[in-house]
Amino acid sequence: MTKWQAVSLDFLERAGWSAGQVFFATLLGGGTAISVYNLPWRFALTLSLSAAVSSVILTAVQYLTRLTNLSFWPDLIVRLAKTFLGSLAASIVAARVFDMTTFHWTAALNLAALATIAALGKGLLARGSGVSPVPAGGQPVRPNPSTLSDQTYERAVSR
């Protein structure tokens, strides 16, 4: 696998997870009193697409500034910040006409918080136990918050 393929997969993985986390948070934020029929499907899809685009933009900034080769906790914190900002930006984009006096900041911040909690769970689950087997090369694989294979992730984020 080439470096560009690994980077492309990294972009796709990050955007896909951001979209999924925001979609889940949007539907979850609707409450339990809403039936499946009344769930905000169109709104959730719009926010998800906006979050995916935001993730691609923020990941591009991260790659351009060469802030990709981070250890587990800094990488996870960057991912959490990007999820929060992307979700908040998606809410603003979905509002179409942004008016600070009428915008539902509480709802947007709650959605961003739910998506960020989902991102934290994904990052911790992706890390696993933190004990990686030592491959044939002799270097242990460092834990990371990505769901990509260790080799693909390392190739994508290495300089």
pLDDT tens digits, 98-146 = 677 778 888 889 989 999 999 999 999 988 655 556 556 666 667 889 9
SS3 readout for the chain: CCHHHHHHHHHHHHHHHHHHHHHHHHHHHCCCCCCCCCCCHHHHHHHHHHHHHHHHHHHHHHHHCCCCCCCHHHHHHHHHHHHHHHHHHHHHHHCCCCCCCCCCHHHHHHHHHHHHHHHHHHHHHHHCCCCCCCCCCCCCCCCCCCCCCHHHHHHHHCC
Domain boundaries along the sequence of the chain = 3-128+146-157
- Per-residue pLDDT for 30 more than 70? no
pLDDT band at 41 (very low <50, low <70, confident <90, very high): confident
pTM of the model: 0.82
- Per-residue pLDDT for 80 more than 90? yes
pLDDT band at 42 (very low <50, low <70, confident <90, very high): confident
- Per-residue pLDDT for 73 more than 60? yes
- Per-residue pLDDT for 9 more than 70? yes
Q: What percent of the chain has pLDDT over 90?
A: 48
pLDDT band at 58 (very low <50, low <70, confident <90, very high): very high
Better pLDDT: 62 or 100: 62
Q: In this predicted structure, what is the pLDDT of residue 103?
A: 82
